[in-house]
A and B are shown apart, each in its own frame.
Chain A
Amino acid sequence: MKLAVVLVSTLAATQALADTIVVQSTTSTKNSGLYDYLLPVLKQDTGLTVNVVAVGTGQAIKNAMRCDGDVLLVHAKASEERFVAEGYGSMRWDLMYNDFVIVGPEQDPAKLRQASTALDALTRIATSGAKFASRADDSGTHKKERALWASAGIDPELGSGQWYMETGSGMGATLNTGIGLGAYVMTDRATWIKFGNKQDTTLLFDGDPALFNQYGVIPVSQKKCPTVNAQGARVFTEWLLSDRGQAAIAAYQVAGKPLFFPNAD
């Protein structure tokens, strides 16, 4: 072990460049290809190299609390505001939004196509005996899904393992599992549009304002984490919130459709 540390700390010195930051972010932004599009533009404008760690929102927040990131870019407003209130983040800004959709098997056993609201859609799934695959990983999507079940007055965990399948995995893995099971899945629209293994699963419910999905950006506080690259974090955040950054977010399209809608103040 000691030998390993000695041998490799020389290697590591090259990594600690001032113009490099680590962003703790979510699988939805990464898997949708947004960063692949944005980061080269950002690099050209600012010279900043951004290393994105894409995990669920819950894990991203915990990683940032351990000071393992310079910026947090996630989608769970309540948790983000707590992160700032507890002093881990200096400030939170609204960045962009998209929405959640519910996908499921083409035959649509729970008749989601006829659902009027998101709560109606979930109630139909719970009462029809159809399967639902949940992230169950404390991610932003999972937090949203749990809140919707609670509003519908349903405790899906009572059916855990029977019709409510808790995968404990990322969005893509949960989609793969859900599709294999012929289950319904709630996913962000961006991931769904980009997803490559749809098989006979299709988009069955969307459009309810309750499915709104807000992303926020938070530089990690230098007071809590003295090692943080505050300068780089500021450059990154300011660029995203600038007209140029917001326009770049709006310009990212897949198959002619925009995936994220900028809404910084």
Chain B
Amino acid sequence: MDALTEAFRLIITLDPDLFEILGLSIRVSLIALAIATVIGLPLGTYLAINKFPGRRVLITLLNALMGMPPVVVGLMVYLMLSRSGPLGGLGLLYTPTAMIIAQVVLITPIIAALSNQVIENLYQEYRDTFYSLGITGSKAVIAYLVDARYSLTTCILAGFGRAIAEVGAVIIVGGNIDHLTRVMTTAIALETSKGNLTLALGLGTVLLTLAILVNGAVTAVREFAKRRQYA
């Protein structure tokens, strides 16, 4: 109850720190989501509609990567971006960009693996039609993606959920630096470590509210679009 009051207080007082942190959380996760979607959806679709040796292995690998611990992803990206790592010259460590990269690595497999499943189901149904119409290659990938667009929103939302909620990767590559790389989840971890449990839970409530709003908005848009299409 205290946490709800705290969350409410943070929002109605327009706490500038809160909105800065919330803004960065949304920015980082949305950019990561956009990149992961552009890579993940075509990849998942391609693997669903093309037969080639090693395809099953790749799909199994993608499914396994969905369970990748964020802290491991964070560590890998840290070692890449560290000044003494292979990409150290870019100077990206402890920037929002580093956090975006880590989240892309984390959620691309989720979007690819889930969309793969969706398209595979569709493939059984459409294979012969598309074949007879001569739709192949990238044209086929696009055709499947367009046709499955409503089901695919769930895959994208799953990716968004993982990105906005994870703390293990962004705290390592971002460093939880105030006014630079602090996001909602790392702020919650910090306040917990300071023993400010009410504030931490209040921030958690704000984050949960955001997740509900995003999911609600996407569902509303999807239902609206569906109804227009079939009307």
Contacts and interface: CB of A to CB of B under 8 A. Distances in A.
B196 interface: yes
B193 interface: yes
A227 B88 CA distance: 10
A244 interface: no
Nearest to B199: A196
B94 A227 contact: no
B90 A9 contact: yes
Contacts of A52: 177-178
A1 interface: yes
A31 B193 contact: yes
B82 A67 contact: yes
Contacts of A171: 193
Interface in B59-96: 82-85, 87-96
B80 to A, nearest CB: 10
B104 A66 contact: no
Interface stretch (A11-19, A91-99, A157-165): A11-19
Given A52-B178, A53-B177, A198-B195, A67 B94 contact: no
Interface string A15-59: 110000010000100010000100000000000000111100000
Contacts, number: 96
Contact of A197 (B39, B93, B196): B196
A170 interface: yes
Interface string A208-249: 000000000000000001010000000000000000000000
Contact of B97 (A9, A36, A54, A227): A9
A176 interface: yes
A27 B176 CA distance: 12
Interface residues of A, number: 35
Interface string A162-202: 00000000111101100000000000000000111110000
Contact of A68 (B94, B192, B195, B199): B94
A237 B1 CA distance: 45
Interface in B110-160: none
B47 to A, nearest CB: 17
Contact of B101 (A5, A16, A22): A5
Contact of B92 (A12, A54, A170): A12
B38 interface: yes
B161 interface: no
Nearest to B177: A51
A255 interface: no
Interface in B5-36: 31, 35
Given A5-B87, A68-B82, 10 more contacts: A3-B38, A3-B39, A11-B95, A15-B92, A15-B97, A27-B193, A54-B176, A66-B82, A66-B85, A195-B194
19 contacts: A4-B101, A7-B35, A9-B90, A15-B97, A51-B177, A52-B177, A52-B178, A53-B176, A66-B84, A67-B84, A68-B93, A68-B94, A172-B192, A172-B195, A173-B193, A194-B194, A197-B195, A225-B83, A227-B89
